Amino acid sequence: PTPIILDCDPGHDDAVAILMAVASPLIELRAVTTVAGNQTLDKVHYNALRVLTLANAQVPVAAGACTPLSKVLVTAGYVHGESGIEGAELPKPAFAAETCSAVELIAKTVKESDGLITLVPTGPLTNIATFLLAYPDLKSRIKQIVLMGGGQYGNITPSAEFNIFVDPDAAKIVFQSGIPIVMCGLDVTHKAYLTREDADHIRKLNKVGETLGGFYDFYTGYYGQHNKQCPGAPMHDPCTIAWLIDPNLFTGRQCHVDVETHGQLTEGMTVVDFFGVTDKTANAEFIYDVDRQGFVDQLFELLKYYS
Ligand code: BDR
Ligand code: CA
């Protein structure tokens, strides 16, 4: 199995990513770290512990950044609600988080691993950038960074996707790190959506499925009304885990990707050189398409683990 550290801000779709990672025999979830994004740090951190408790998975968890590197925090309560994960009851945490910081837990996990570690960020990239700055020697111990963020268009502004917009400085550090990057941006995540029929199937699977059904109902409140970019409930963050499990479901291209940190209209935009108009060396596998039915079938199969 691929050893990973999941750095997240749960978040409905982050929660699905956690549940998939725990369920897959092809993934070894070594640690979960949390970062302010969809909601404030205290909320998303609490949610991570609750989702792992729902999954009956006691993995090391540590809290990270409560603000971006240099901006004021913007949250997405308008999508994920007051708690960051409205729509269903979650159990109270059955275990405690580590006392160290997210960056320390990432460093410790990477150092102690025999093999290279894959980082899977599904929130703003603040913790990952801070880790890379604090532990440059550990870069070579990272196999790749499979992230959800960016795209050739935006959702929080016309040009910026939420995770990158929240902390563009961190994103720039990550994209310029030299570590191989797999970028699951809006181009692909809006194609990896669930329909109401899919959600109704999931609801009937087991208790975890029932919880996800409740999440779906809340999450589509926003996506059904305000998001014209996607015909269903986009499973943004789960694309990272689905790609790790079966990259053949996805289509991508090696591209150079840079991040706009200060544009007047384009702050937080990922500038993807899709057609190679510069001669800059590619730094990311830019994923832009998915076999939706294959993705949904994979999710259904994984969720059976909780029966
Ligand atoms: C990203 O923003 C958050 O709302 C989701 O969890 C996802 O990581 C999508 O733009
Ligand atoms: Ca997220």
> What pLDDT, on a 0 to 100 scale, did the predictor assign at position 168?
98
Q: Does residue 258 have its Cβ closer than 6 Å to ligand 1?
A: no
Ligand 1 nearest-atom number relative to CA 12: 6
Q: pLDDT tens digits, residue range 54-100?
A: 999 999 999 999 999 999 999 998 888 999 999 999 999 999 999 99
Of ligand 1's atoms, which has the minimum distance to the CA of residue 155?
10
* The pLDDT value given to residue 118: 98
Residues of the chain with pLDDT under 70: none
Alpha carbon distance 168, 149 (integer Å) = 11
DSSP string, 208-233: HHHHHHHHHHHHHHHHHHH-TT-SSE
Ligand 1 mutation pick, 120, 152, 163, max ligand atoms within 8 A of CB: 163
**How far does residue 30's CA lie from ligand 1's centre (Å)?**
22
Euclidean distance between the first and final Cα of the chain, in Å?
A: 22
Burial of 67 (0-12, 13-18, 19+ CB in 10 A): middle
Residue 223 pLDDT: 72
pTM beyond 0.95: the answer is yes
237 by Cβ neighbours in 10 Å (0-12 / 13-18 / 19+) ranks as buried
DSSP letter at 140? G
Alpha-carbon distance of 8 to 47, in angstroms, equals 10
Note the pLDDT tens digit of each residue in 162-202.
999 999 999 999 999 999 999 999 999 999 999 999 999 99
* DSSP secondary structure letter of residue 275: T
Whether residue 60 contacts residue 17, with contact meaning beta carbons closer than 8 Å, is answered with no
Catalytic residues, by residue number, are 236
Tokens describing residue 265: 């209209």
Ligand closest to CA 234: 1
Residue 279 CA to ligand 1 centre (angstroms): 31
Instruction: Please report the ipTM that was assigned to this predicted complex.
Output: 0.99
Q: Does the Cβ of 12 fall within 6 Å of ligand 1?
A: no
Residue 240 Cβ inside 6 Å of ligand 1? The answer reads no
Q: Give the distance (Å) from ligand 1 centre to CA of residue 112.
A: 30
Q: Is 167 in the pocket of ligand 1 (CB under 6 A)?
A: no
DSSP result, 57-89: ----EEE--SS-SSSPP---HHHH-SSSSTTS-
